[in-house]
Amino acid sequence: MPAVIQCPSAYVVDGDSLRCGPERLRLLGIDAPELHGCPGWRTCVAGNGEASKESLKQAVGKGRIRYRFISRDRFGRAIVVAFAGSINLSCWQLQRGQAVYKPQWDNGGIIGRACR
């Protein structure tokens, strides 16, 4: 199991990503609505990007942020399982309807199992 990394100052970028200092973090296994429209080359999740971002901000305010590094995406972001206290941030977003589960993005089904 990968080491747990503490994040003393997390910044919410959108409904499925954070910054922890200079590190860009992408939550494992989920996709949230875009903040600034959907690029023509991809299919995006329907919904309100601002509402999704606000939901993640609420979760981040509930405890100390820590994460486990899983891999990197094509944009160089760390793909992570992240927590605010005991709250799994991917599960939080899914349970509130602010993201959709993407099994093809869920390394080994980690989020699928955690969010049951």
104, 111 Cβ separation under 8 angstroms: no
Question: Alpha-carbon distance 105 to 79, whole Å?
Answer: 10
Residue 21, SS3? Answer: coil
Q: Which pLDDT score is estimated for 102?
A: 96
Give pLDDT tens digits along the chain (116 positions): 568 999 999 999 999 999 999 999 999 999 999 998 888 888 899 999 999 999 999 999 999 999 999 999 999 999 999 999 999 999 999 999 999 999 999 998 999 999 98
33, 44 Cβ separation under 8 angstroms: yes
Place of tokens 């991917």: 90
Instruction: Give the residue extent of every domain in the chain.
Output: 4-108
Question: Alpha-carbon distance 64 to 42, whole Å?
Answer: 34
Query: How is residue 8 annotated by DSSP?
Result: S
Closest CA to 60 of 115, 96, 5, 11: 11
- Give the containing element (helix H, strand E) for 68: strand 65-72
Q: Which pLDDT score is estimated for 1?
A: 59
How is domain 4-108 classified at the CATH fold level? OB fold (Dihydrolipoamide Acetyltransferase, E2P) (2.40.50)
Taking each continuous run of H as one helix and of E as one strand, the counts in the chain are: 3, 9
Question: Alpha-carbon distance 90 to 86, whole Å?
Answer: 12
